[in-house]
Amino acid sequence: MMSDKKHKNTHKGAVILFCLFSLLFFVLMFRFVQIQATGKADGKALAIAAEKQYKQKQTIAAKRGSILDRNGEVLAEDTPSYTLMAVLDPTMTTDPNDPKHVVDPERTAEKLAPLLHMDVREAERILTKKAKQVEFGTYGRNISYELKQKIEALKLPGIGFIRDTKRFYPNGTFASYVIGYAQQKEGSNEEKSKTFGMMGIEKSLDRYLQEKNGYVVFERDKDGFRLPDTKETIVPPDNGDEVYLTIDQKIQTFLEDTMNQVEKQYQPKKIIAIVANPKTGEILAMSTRPSFDPNKRNITNYLNDAISYPYEPGSTMKMFTLAAAINEGVYNGNELYRSGSYRVGRNEIRDHNKVGWGTITFNEGVQRSSNVAFAKLVKEKLGEDRFLQYLYRFHFNVKTGIDLPGEALGNILYRYPIEKLTTAFGQGTSITPIQQIQAATAIANGGKMMKPYVVDRIVDPDTKKVVVQHKPEVVGEPITKETAQKVLDILETVVTSEKGTGRPYQIEGYRVAGKTGTAQIPSPKGGYLTGYENYIFSFLGMAPKEDPQLLMYVAVQQPKLSPTETGAAPVSMIFNTVMKNSLQYLNIRPSFEKTEKSLDKKGIELPSYAGQTVDAAVKDVKAKGLLPVVIGNGAEVEAQLPFAGDEVIVRERVILKTSGTVNMPDLRGWSLRDALKVAELLGLQPSVKGSGYVVTQSIRPRSSVRKGDYLILELVEPKKWKEAVTQVQTSQTDRKEKAPVD
C-alpha cells in the first residue's frame, strides 16, 4: 500500500519536471529563433554589444568661443589648466625602485602645501585617506602650467595631473558686467568638463559660445590597445563661435584706471560710466563700481547698473527738455524771466540756490541749471502734453533693447501737475543711464537717434564665416538737424560760460558740450536724503562740439568730498581724463585751431575763477595760453584781474589773489598793464616813472604788503631794458659789498 503510494508520487514528480524542462526548452527555442530572425536581444543589437567590447571611443575636446574687443584683443578665452591628483593605492607600484603611489605622505604634504597655499596638516590629511586616488579640492584645481612645472620638478612619487581647460579673463576687472563670466557646471561626468555662461555676454550668447566635443572610434584588442590597419571613425569637435564686441580695449582701460582712482580717493557707493560713438550707437566702454574680477568672481552686485539701475537723472534731463522747446519753436534764449521760485498750485519749485539770480535770460538759466527756467518752459511755452510726446520720442518710455541681459525700464511719473514739471528738470521720473545715452545720440548726431549695442559680430573660428553681423540702427528722429545744432551751441556755453555749471568739464584743445546733473536720492523714510554728499552727481557730455565723435555719461553716487570740493570733482576727474585720452587715441584733431595772431585780434574772454581751487584755476589759465600769477598762499581764488568777462590776449598775465598771507611778486620785466593789475588787486598806490617794462620796484619781491602802501615803479623801453637791469644788479651788488658786517 505504501509502496504503491510512493510509486505514484514519483511518477507525479517526474511529470512535473518533464513539463518544466519542456517549457524551458520551448522558450529557449523560441528565443533562439527570434534572435536569429531579428538579430536583437533585450532591445539591443548583439552586433553593437560585441562591437562595444572591441571598440574604443575617445573624446576630442572642443574650445569655448573667445570674446574679443573691436580690434581683436582677447577679453575672454579658454586656457589649459590642470587638476592635481595623488595615487595612494600601493598596488599601483610594480617596481619598488619606481614607486607610482605616495610613499611618504608627510614629506609630500610639506613640499606641496606652500605651492598650493594650503595648510600642511590639511594636505597630509588628504594624503592619508583610505582611497585609491585623491584630489586637493579647490587648492588643486585650475593650476597653471607654470605651477605644474614647479610641482613636477619636486619629483614626488604618486603625484600627477589631470589636464583640463578653464575660462580666463586676461584683464581682470574690465568691463566685467558686459563680458560676464562662465564656469564649469556641476553634474554628470559628461557635463563636468563643459563651461556654461552665467552672466553678461557669456550668458546671453552662450548658444554661440558653447562648444561641442568631437570623438574618434577605433577597434582595439582585449587589452585595450588599438589594432593595426583598422578603420577609424572621426567626428571633429565643433568649437564655439568668436564674439567681437564694440568695446575698445584702450578706451575701456582709460575708463577702468580712472574709475579705480576715483573709487580709492572718494569711496562712492556707486560709479556708472558709458562711452559711446553717437554716430553709430556702438558702446566703446562701459563700467560700474562696485565691480568684480571674473577670474575670482568676487561679486557683490549682480546687476549691471549702466542698464539695470533706473533713477532720477537730475539736471541732465534738461538737455532733452531744451531740445523739445527748441524743436517746437517756443524757445527764446534772450527772453527774461524771474529766477528763484515758481508756484504750481500748492507746490513751489525752487532753484538749487533757493533764491535764484534775479531776472535773467533763459540762456543763462540753462547755464546756471535753473529749475524754474525749465518748469516755465514746459508750463508756459511747450505745454505738458507736447512735452510728454517728446519723452516718448526720445524713447524714455521703452527699453533701448541693447544686446545685454537684464536691462530695466524706468518710470515716467506724469500723473499730477507738479510731476509733469519736475520731470522737465529730472526729478520724479526715473530712467537708466543707457536710455540717456541713446537719447543724447540724437543731439550729437544731427537729430538721428541711434540704438546702443555692444556686439559687433559673431564669427565661426574654423571657417571665418560671419554668423551674425550687427549694423548701426536709427531708432527715431525726435528732433531736426537744425535743432540738434542749436542745442549743441547752448550746451557748449554750459561748459565755457563763467556762469555755467559745466566749467570743470573743459578739456584743453577740445570744445565740449554737455549738461551737469545733481540728482536727489529717495529716502527709505520718505522724501529725499539730505546732506552735502547725498546726491548722484553726473555729467552727460560730447566732444568735439562741432562734430561730436564721442558721447559720455558719468555718474558718481554719494562720494566722500572734502569741505572745499563739489560733486563735480570726482565726475570731472573721470570725464575729462577718459574723454581727452580717447579723443587723442582716436586721432581726433583738437577743436582749437586758432593762431595766436587771430586770438590777438579777437581776444580771449576770461571766466570767473572766484571760488575755484588754485590748481584748477592755474590749469585753466594755462590751457588758454595765458600766464597765471598767484598772489597769496590760500587754497581758493578770491579775486582776479582781468575781471571775468574781460578779453585778454595770448601770453597776457592773469593775476589770481587767494586768501592768507599776501607777498609782493617780482614785477621786473612786466608790462605796465600787468604791474598795475597787481597794484589794483592789493590796494596799493602806484607811482610810475618812465615807460615800457618794469626795471625796478620800491617794494622788495616776496615781502609782505599792506593795503595803501606806495608802489614806485621805474620803467624803460624794451631796447634798453636788458642794459638797465644789468646796471641795477651791479649797483645792488656794490651796495652789498660796502655794507657793514655785523
Give the mean pLDDT of 425-429: 95
> Comparing 7-21, 40-54, 289-303, 697-711, which segment has the lowest mean pLDDT?
40-54
Interacting residues of 607 by C-beta distance below 8 A, sequence separation 6+: 496, 497, 498, 503, 620, 644
Among 66, 291, 308, 315, the active-site one is 315
Q: What is the 3-state secondary structure of 126-141?
A: HHCCCCCEEECHHHHC
pLDDT grade for 98, boundaries at 50, 70 and 90:
confident
The cell for 587 is: 586721432
What phi and psi values does residue 695 have, to the nearest 5 degrees? -115, -30
Predicted pLDDT at 677: 81
Each residue of 471-487: pLDDT tens digit?
A: 999 999 999 999 999 99
Report H helices in 81-238: 105-116, 120-127, 145-153, 176-179, 189-192, 200-204, 206-209
Give the mean pLDDT of 312-333: 97
Give the mean pLDDT of 180-205: 77
The cell for 529 is: 536724503
Residue 158, Cβ density class (10 Å: 0-12 exposed, 13-18 middle, ≥19 buried): buried
State the CB neighbour count (10 A cutoff) for residue 16: 10
d(CA 601, CA 647): 10
State the CB neighbour count (10 A cutoff) for residue 154: 12
State the CB neighbour count (10 A cutoff) for residue 317: 28
Give the mean pLDDT of 104-115: 94
pLDDT grade for 425, boundaries at 50, 70 and 90:
very high
What phi and psi values does residue 662 have, to the nearest 5 degrees? -110, 125
Q: Which residue has the higher pLDDT, 171 or 597?
A: 171
pLDDT at 381 over 80: yes
Report H helices in 296-399: 305-308, 318-327, 362-368, 371-376, 384-393
Predicted pLDDT at 17: 67
d(CA 270, CA 300): 12
Nearest to 557 by CA among 534, 541, 575: 534
Q: What is the DSSP string of 600-644?
A: HHH-EE----TTSBHHHHHHHHHHTT-EEEEESS-SBEEEEESPT
Angle at CA 128, nearest 5°, toward 124 and 130?
Answer: 155
pLDDT grade for 330, boundaries at 50, 70 and 90:
very high
Identify whether the C-beta of residue 405 lies closer than 8 Å to the C-beta of residue 200.
yes
> Comparing 60-64, 73-77, 310-314, 469-473, which segment has the lowest mean pLDDT?
60-64
Angle at CA 588, nearest 5°, toward 504 and 287?
Answer: 60
Predicted pLDDT at 598: 39
Each residue of 484-505: pLDDT tens digit?
A: 999 999 999 999 998 999 999 9
Predicted pLDDT at 581: 95
pLDDT grade for 213, boundaries at 50, 70 and 90:
confident
Nearest to 170 by CA among 321, 34, 308, 68: 68
pLDDT at 21 over 80: no
Identify whether the C-beta of residue 225 lies closer than 8 Å to the C-beta of residue 218.
no
> Comparing 46-55, 541-550, 672-681, which segment has the lowest mean pLDDT?
46-55
Identify whether the C-beta of residue 469 lies closer than 8 Å to the C-beta of residue 615.
no
Predicted pLDDT at 684: 82
Predicted pLDDT at 500: 94
pLDDT grade for 320, boundaries at 50, 70 and 90:
very high
DSSP 8-state class, residue 594:
-
Each residue of 134-179: pLDDT tens digit?
A: 999 889 988 888 899 999 999 999 999 988 788 999 999 999 999 9
What share of the chain has pLDDT > 70, as a percent?
83
Give the CB-side neighbour count of residue 239, counting CA atoms within 13 A: 15
d(CA 548, CA 266): 30
Each residue of 710-723: pLDDT tens digit?
A: 888 887 766 565 56
Interacting residues of 697 by C-beta distance below 8 A, sequence separation 6+: 664, 666, 667, 668, 675, 711, 712, 713, 714
Identify whether the C-beta of residue 424 lies closer than 8 Å to the C-beta of residue 373.
no
Q: Which residue has the higher pLDDT, 138 or 308?
A: 308
Predicted pLDDT at 592: 58
Grid cell 559680430 is found at 457
Nearest to 107 by CA among 57, 155, 62: 155
pLDDT at 303 over 90: yes
CA 93 to chain centre: 56
Predicted pLDDT at 44: 43
Q: Are strands 270-276 and 513-520 parallel, antiparallel or unpaired?
A: unpaired
Give the mean pLDDT of 241-254: 97
Q: What is the DSSP string of 13-64?
A: HHHHHHHHHHHHHHHHHHHHHHHHHH-EETTEEHHHHHHHHHEEEEEE---P
Predicted pLDDT at 707: 80
pTM of the model: 0.71
The cell for 89 is: 593605492
Nearest to 252 by CA among 282, 278, 280: 282
C-alpha distance across the termini of the chain, in Å:
163
Identify whether the C-beta of residue 112 lies closer than 8 Å to the C-beta of residue 151.
yes
pLDDT grade for 531, boundaries at 50, 70 and 90:
confident
Give the mean pLDDT of 601-630: 82
pLDDT at 45 over 60: no
Collapsing DSSP states into helix, strand and coil, what is residue 433?
helix
Interacting residues of 661 by C-beta distance below 8 A, sequence separation 6+: 632, 633, 704
pLDDT at 593 over 60: no
d(CA 195, CA 165): 9
The cell for 603 is: 581776444
pLDDT at 221 over 60: no
Average pLDDT of the chain? 85
Q: Which residue has the higher pLDDT, 381 or 132?
A: 381
Collapsing DSSP states into helix, strand and coil, what is residue 694?
strand
Predicted pLDDT at 595: 35
DSSP 8-state class, residue 212:
B
pLDDT grade for 187, boundaries at 50, 70 and 90:
very low
Grid cell 520724479 is found at 428
The cell for 508 is: 584743453
Grid cell 553593437 is found at 48
For the question of residue 538 being annotated catalytic, the response is no
pLDDT grade for 701, boundaries at 50, 70 and 90:
confident
Q: Which residue has the higher pLDDT, 715 or 245?
A: 245
CA 195 vs CA 240, 468, 505: distances in Å: 11, 22, 44
Give the mean pLDDT of 405-409: 96
Q: Are strands 693-697 and 653-658 parallel, antiparallel or unpaired?
A: unpaired
pLDDT grade for 117, boundaries at 50, 70 and 90:
very high
State the CB neighbour count (10 A cutoff) for residue 292: 18
